[in-house]
A and B are shown apart, each in its own frame.
Chain A
Amino acid sequence: MNLLARMPRWGVHPAENKAQSTARPIRQAPMPAQLILPMQQHIGAPAEAVVATGDRVLGGQVIAEASGFVSARVHAPTSGTVTSIVEHAVPHPSGLSEPCILITPDGLDEKLAPQPLPAYQQLEPAIVLEHIRNSGITGLGGAGFPTAVKLGSVRDAKIEYLLLNGVECEPYITADDRLMTERASQVVGGALVLAHLVRPQHTVLVVEDNKPDAIAALRLACQGTAAEVRVIPTRYPSGGEKQTIQIVTGREVPHGGIPADIGVVCTNVGTAAAVHRAVVDGEPLVSRIVTLTGNALAEPGNFEVLLGTPIRELLATCAMDATNLDRLIMGGPMMGFALPSPELPVIKTTNCILASAPGELPAAGPEQPCIRCGLCAEACPAALLPQQLLWYARANEFERAEKHHLFDCIECGACAYVCPSNIPLVQYYRYAKGEIRHAEQERIKAERSRERFEFRTERLAREEAEKEARRLERREAAKRKAAGKADPDAAPATAGTSPEVQAAVERVRQRKAAQADDGSQES
Chain B
Amino acid sequence: MVQPSSPHVVAGGSAGRVMLLVGAGTLPGLLALLWHFGTGVLVQVALCMLFGLLVESLFLLARARPLLPTLRDYSALLSGLLLGLSIPPLAPWWVSAVDMLFAVGVAKQLYGGLGSNLFNPAMIGYVVLLISFPVQMTQWLPAAGVEGAQHVEFMEALQLVFAGTTGAGSAVDAYTMATPLDVVRANRLTLTQEELLSLAPFHDALSIGWTWVNTGFLAGGLFLLWRRLTSWHAPLGMLASLALLAFLFHAHDPDRFASPLIHLFSGATMFGAFFIATDPVSCATSARGRLYFGIGVGVLLYVIRTWGSYPDAIAFAVLLMNLCAPLLDQYTIPRAYGHGRTRKTSP
- Which of B4, B338, B344 is A255 in contact with, Cβ under 8 Å? B338
Q: Are A371 and B115 in contact (CB under 8 A)?
A: yes
Interface string of B73-117 (1 = CB under 8 A from A): 101000000000000000000000000000000000000011110
Q: Are A263 and B9 in contact (CB under 8 A)?
A: no
Q: Which of the segments B36-44, B122-130, B327-335 contacts the partner chain?
A: B327-335
Interface string of A413-451 (1 = CB under 8 A from B): 100111111101011001000000000000000000000
Does A171 lie at the interface of the complex (its beta carbon under 8 Å from any beta carbon of B)? yes
Q: Which residues of B are found within 8 Å of A251, using beta-carbon distances? A: 342-343
Q: Which of the segments B13-21, B54-62, B134-142, B248-256 contacts the partner chain?
A: B13-21
Determine the main DSSP class of A at the interface with B. Answer: loop
Q: Are A426 and B6 in contact (CB under 8 A)?
A: yes
Q: Which residues of A are found within 8 Å of B9, using beta-carbon distances? A: 14-15, 171, 333-334, 361, 417
Of A14, A334, A372, A403, chain B has the most CB atoms within 10 Å of the CB of A372
Q: Are A381 and B337 in contact (CB under 8 A)?
A: yes
Does A328 lie at the interface of the complex (its beta carbon under 8 Å from any beta carbon of B)? yes
Does A276 lie at the interface of the complex (its beta carbon under 8 Å from any beta carbon of B)? no
Given the known inter-chain contacts A158-B347, A263-B345, please indicate yes or no for A371 contacting B336, CB distance below 8 A.
Answer: no
Does B308 lie at the interface of the complex (its beta carbon under 8 Å from any beta carbon of A)? no
Does A382 lie at the interface of the complex (its beta carbon under 8 Å from any beta carbon of B)? yes
Does B287 lie at the interface of the complex (its beta carbon under 8 Å from any beta carbon of A)? yes
Q: How many interface residues does chain A have, given as a range?
A: 35 or more
Does B281 lie at the interface of the complex (its beta carbon under 8 Å from any beta carbon of A)? yes
A160 to B343 CA separation, bound complex (whole angstroms): 13
Tell me the A361-378 residues at the B interface (CB within 8 Å): 361-366, 368-375, 377-378
Tell me the A148-198 residues at the B interface (CB within 8 Å): 156-158, 160, 171
Q: Which residues of A are found within 8 Å of B335, using beta-carbon distances? A: 383
A377 to B345 CA separation, bound complex (whole angstroms): 30
Q: Are B336 and A374 in contact (CB under 8 A)?
A: no
A413 to B18 CA separation, bound complex (whole angstroms): 21
Q: Are B15 and A368 in contact (CB under 8 A)?
A: yes
Q: Which residues of A are found within 8 Å of B64, using beta-carbon distances? A: none
Q: Are A362 and B12 in contact (CB under 8 A)?
A: yes
Q: Are A254 and B7 in contact (CB under 8 A)?
A: no
Considering only CB atoms, which chain A residue lies closest to B333 in the complex? Answer: A404
Given the known inter-chain contacts A12-B11, A371-B114, A413-B6, please indicate yes or no for A383 contacting B345, CB distance below 8 A.
Answer: no
Q: Which residues of A are found within 8 Å of B231, using beta-carbon distances? A: 374, 378
A253 to B17 CA separation, bound complex (whole angstroms): 38
A250 to B57 CA separation, bound complex (whole angstroms): 52
A15 to B11 CA separation, bound complex (whole angstroms): 9
Q: Are A335 and B7 in contact (CB under 8 A)?
A: yes
A375 to B290 CA separation, bound complex (whole angstroms): 14
Chain A nearest CB, measured from B125 CB (Å):
19
Does A277 lie at the interface of the complex (its beta carbon under 8 Å from any beta carbon of B)? no
Does B1 lie at the interface of the complex (its beta carbon under 8 Å from any beta carbon of A)? yes
Q: Are B18 and A333 in contact (CB under 8 A)?
A: no
Q: Which residues of B are found within 8 Å of A228, using beta-carbon distances? A: none
Q: Which residues of B are found within 8 Å of A15, using beta-carbon distances? A: 9
Q: Are B5 and A426 in contact (CB under 8 A)?
A: yes
- Which of A361, A387, A411 is B285 in contact with, Cβ under 8 Å? A387
Q: Which of the segments A27-35, A279-287, A298-306, A336-344 contacts the partner chain?
A: A336-344
Tell me the B296-347 residues at the A interface (CB within 8 Å): 329, 333-339, 341-345, 347
Q: Which residues of B are found within 8 Å of A253, using beta-carbon distances? A: 337-338
Does B159 lie at the interface of the complex (its beta carbon under 8 Å from any beta carbon of A)? no
Interface string of A303-318 (1 = CB under 8 A from B): 0000000000000000
Does A117 lie at the interface of the complex (its beta carbon under 8 Å from any beta carbon of B)? no
Does A51 lie at the interface of the complex (its beta carbon under 8 Å from any beta carbon of B)? no
- Which of A261, A420, A424 is B344 in contact with, Cβ under 8 Å? A261
- Which of B73, B286, B342 is A368 in contact with, Cβ under 8 Å? B73
Interface string of A390-421 (1 = CB under 8 A from B): 00000000000001110010010100111111
Q: Which residues of A are found within 8 Å of B14, using beta-carbon distances? A: 365, 368, 420-422
- Which of A160, A252, A421 is B15 in contact with, Cβ under 8 Å? A421
Does A262 lie at the interface of the complex (its beta carbon under 8 Å from any beta carbon of B)? yes
Given the known inter-chain contacts A254-B338, A388-B285, A420-B15, please indicate yes or no for A426 contacting B7, CB distance below 8 A.
Answer: yes
Tell me the B21-73 residues at the A interface (CB within 8 Å): 69, 73
Tell me the A219-246 residues at the B interface (CB within 8 Å): 242, 246
Does B131 lie at the interface of the complex (its beta carbon under 8 Å from any beta carbon of A)? no
Considering only CB atoms, which chain A residue lies closest to B229 in the complex? Answer: A373
Q: Which residues of A are found within 8 Å of B10, using beta-carbon distances? A: 362, 364, 416-417, 419, 422
- Which of A158, A252, A326, A333 is B338 in contact with, Cβ under 8 Å? A252
Chain A nearest CB, measured from B22 CB (Å):
10
Q: Are B115 and A252 in contact (CB under 8 A)?
A: no
Does A73 lie at the interface of the complex (its beta carbon under 8 Å from any beta carbon of B)? no
Given the known inter-chain contacts A242-B337, A368-B69, A382-B336, please indicate yes or no for A329 contacting B15, CB distance below 8 A.
Answer: no
Q: Are A369 and B115 in contact (CB under 8 A)?
A: yes
A157 to B345 CA separation, bound complex (whole angstroms): 9
Q: Which residues of B are found within 8 Å of A45, using beta-carbon distances? A: none
Q: Are A262 and B345 in contact (CB under 8 A)?
A: yes
Given the known inter-chain contacts A333-B8, A372-B285, A411-B6, please indicate yes or no for A158 contacting B345, CB distance below 8 A.
Answer: yes
Q: Are A408 and B338 in contact (CB under 8 A)?
A: yes
Q: Which residues of A are found within 8 Å of B283, using beta-carbon distances? A: 372
Q: Which residues of B are found within 8 Å of A338, using beta-carbon distances? A: 1-5, 8
Chain A nearest CB, measured from B231 CB (Å):
6
Does B148 lie at the interface of the complex (its beta carbon under 8 Å from any beta carbon of A)? no
Does A257 lie at the interface of the complex (its beta carbon under 8 Å from any beta carbon of B)? yes
Does B167 lie at the interface of the complex (its beta carbon under 8 Å from any beta carbon of A)? no
Considering only CB atoms, which chain A residue lies closest to B284 in the complex? Answer: A372
Does B280 lie at the interface of the complex (its beta carbon under 8 Å from any beta carbon of A)? yes
- Which of A242, A246, A256, A385 is B333 in contact with, Cβ under 8 Å? A385
Q: Are A408 and B339 in contact (CB under 8 A)?
A: yes
Q: Are B337 and A430 in contact (CB under 8 A)?
A: no
Does A327 lie at the interface of the complex (its beta carbon under 8 Å from any beta carbon of B)? yes
Q: Which residues of A are found within 8 Å of B13, using beta-carbon distances? A: 418-420
Q: Are B73 and A385 in contact (CB under 8 A)?
A: no
Given the known inter-chain contacts A337-B6, A338-B2, please indicate yes or no for A408 contacting B285, CB distance below 8 A.
Answer: no
Of A171, A374, A377, chain B has the most CB atoms within 10 Å of the CB of A374
Q: Are B11 and A430 in contact (CB under 8 A)?
A: no
Q: Are B343 and A377 in contact (CB under 8 A)?
A: no
A334 to B9 CA separation, bound complex (whole angstroms): 7
A394 to B323 CA separation, bound complex (whole angstroms): 23
Q: Are A372 and B280 in contact (CB under 8 A)?
A: yes
Given the known inter-chain contacts A371-B281, A372-B285, A385-B285, please indicate yes or no for A252 contacting B345, CB distance below 8 A.
Answer: no
Chain A nearest CB, measured from B290 CB (Å):
8
Chain A nearest CB, measured from B4 CB (Å):
6
Considering only CB atoms, which chain B residue lies closest to A93 in the complex? Answer: B5
Tell me the B251-292 residues at the A interface (CB within 8 Å): 280-281, 283, 285-287, 290
Considering only CB atoms, which chain A residue lies closest to B282 in the complex? Answer: A372
A174 to B321 CA separation, bound complex (whole angstroms): 50
Supplied contacts A252-B337, A335-B6, 18 more A-B pairs, CB within 8 Å? A14-B11, A251-B342, A251-B343, A253-B337, A254-B338, A255-B337, A325-B1, A326-B2, A328-B1, A333-B6, A340-B1, A369-B114, A370-B115, A371-B114, A377-B334, A378-B231, A381-B337, A383-B334
Going nearest first, the 7 A-B pairs with the smallest beta carbon separation are A413-B7, A369-B115, A263-B345, A420-B13, A338-B3, A405-B336, A255-B338
Chain A interface residues toward B at CB < 8 A = 12, 14-15, 93, 156-158, 160, 171, 242, 246, 251-257, 261-263, 325-329, 331, 333-340, 356, 361-366, 368-375, 377-378, 381-385, 387-388, 403-405, 408, 411, 413, 416-422, 424, 426-427, 430
29 contacts between A and B (CB under 8 A): A171-B9, A257-B342, A262-B345, A263-B345, A326-B2, A327-B1, A327-B4, A333-B9, A334-B6, A334-B8, A338-B1, A340-B3, A361-B8, A364-B10, A368-B15, A369-B113, A369-B114, A372-B280, A377-B286, A382-B336, A382-B338, A385-B285, A385-B286, A388-B329, A408-B336, A419-B10, A420-B13, A421-B15, A424-B5
